[in-house]
Amino acid sequence: MSLARLAEDRVDHRFKGLPPDADGLSVAELTAQRRNLFTDGFTTPVLALSAERLEHNLALMETYAARHGLAFAPHGKTTMAPQLFRRQIEHGAWGITLAVPHQVRVAREFGIERIFLANELVDPAALKWIAGELAGDEDFRFICYVDSVRGVKLMDAALQGAARPLDVVVELAAGEGARTGVRTEAECAAVADAVAATGTLRLVGVAGYEGEVPDADPERVHTWLRRLVALAADFDKAGRFTAAAPDEIVISAGGSAWFDAVADVFAEIPELSRPVLKLLRSGAYVSHDDGHYRKVTPFNRIPEEGALEPAFRLWTQVVSRPSPEQAFTNAGKRDAAYDLDLPFPQVVRRGDTERPATGIEVTGLSDQHAWLRTAPGVDLEVGDWLGLGLSHPCTSFDKWQLIPVAQADGTVVEYIRTFF
């Protein structure tokens, strides 16, 4: 399917927040109308992306990766939006990182040619489908984790008869108590040897996720990343990449909290027997946020490199003001991320005017209500629109199927379709 096909979809009840009088229009027709988010029929709650901040974030990470000699495969699970995948690739991304087979199917449906699966894949049906994709498209590059001898055996059994070997990287765990990955270098070697004993898998590198380092701080993260680089060097010296593709060795890490450490350590990678694909996988940068990643982004530590900007705003309307200290709006858990932080009131909009949401706090979320506490004297009325900042993009995109992209004056210039 081409991205143009998305614009042919019809606007209807499936899509929250869109103008009711737009029902029956194609997305392309609605886009062409360039409606205003505040005055042209959008209903609350409605999640919007800032056109200017979205472009800023895409360009900033493109520049950052290029400056540090990193290939970039941003994690697509954050947005599951093929339009954003394409824009990331247009901004220099090597490919897209994903987590589960469904996500790979979405990416392939929209023509993504390079996919890094940051998980061990042992589902026979999914492996057979991927083998078919590899057989039918010689330009398709697919890499996934392996983190156990058992997993290698299951993959090998499912891939018997495949036309092309499947490229894999050994996942090094970030330490005891981390999520997935092989815990010790000796066990990593055993997994690599198991891969070498198959005819269906090809070891092309090593990878991991530094965000799982226990009690992460710069020293601990740098130490673990140097273990990862040393593992690749040891594998190379031992000839474990001999059967791999001859052009490069893959070394991959990088969430959205420590990519500066990845850049530091990957700059130290010694000369190996072939070039190294230094693959960074940070994904939350696209929208950034007003909570978790605002606090932990590496750009706080390296301000000279620039700054990401939060691109999301959830607009919700005050529907109850039962007391001077309390108010309720019509957005709740169905609409806003709440797994890391509650939403952050930013602005109050009344008519054509906006003012800072000073003295307003979200204290809780029900399914369809935000609970607000207001300081004495705060001017907040039923009918006001409240603009909320959100924390954790990964649990924001998944609540919205069609997201307006609005310019600073409210003009909607695009609609982003998600597939969760």
pLDDT of residue 282: 94
Q: How far apart are the first and last CA of the chain?
A: 17
Question: Has residue 139 got a pLDDT over 90?
Answer: yes
pLDDT digits (tens, 9 = 90+) for 128-138: 999 999 999 99
* Report field, pTM of the whole predicted structure over 0.75: yes
Domain ranges for the chain, please list them: 3-51+309-417, 113-281
Q: What is the mean pLDDT of residues 356-377?
A: 98
Confidence of residue 272 (pLDDT cuts 50, 70, 90): very high
Asked whether residue 194 carries a pLDDT value surpassing 90, the answer given is: yes
Q: What is the CATH number of domain 113-281?
A: 3.20.20.10
How high is the pLDDT of residue 245? 66
What confidence tens digit (pLDDT) does each residue in 27-69 have?
999 999 999 999 999 999 999 999 999 999 999 999 999 999 9
The answer on pLDDT for 244 being more than 70 is: no
In this model, does residue 88 exceed pLDDT 80?
A: yes
pLDDT at 177: 80
Decide if pLDDT at 372 tops 70.
Answer: yes
Architecture of the CATH domain 3-51+309-417: Beta Barrel (2.40)
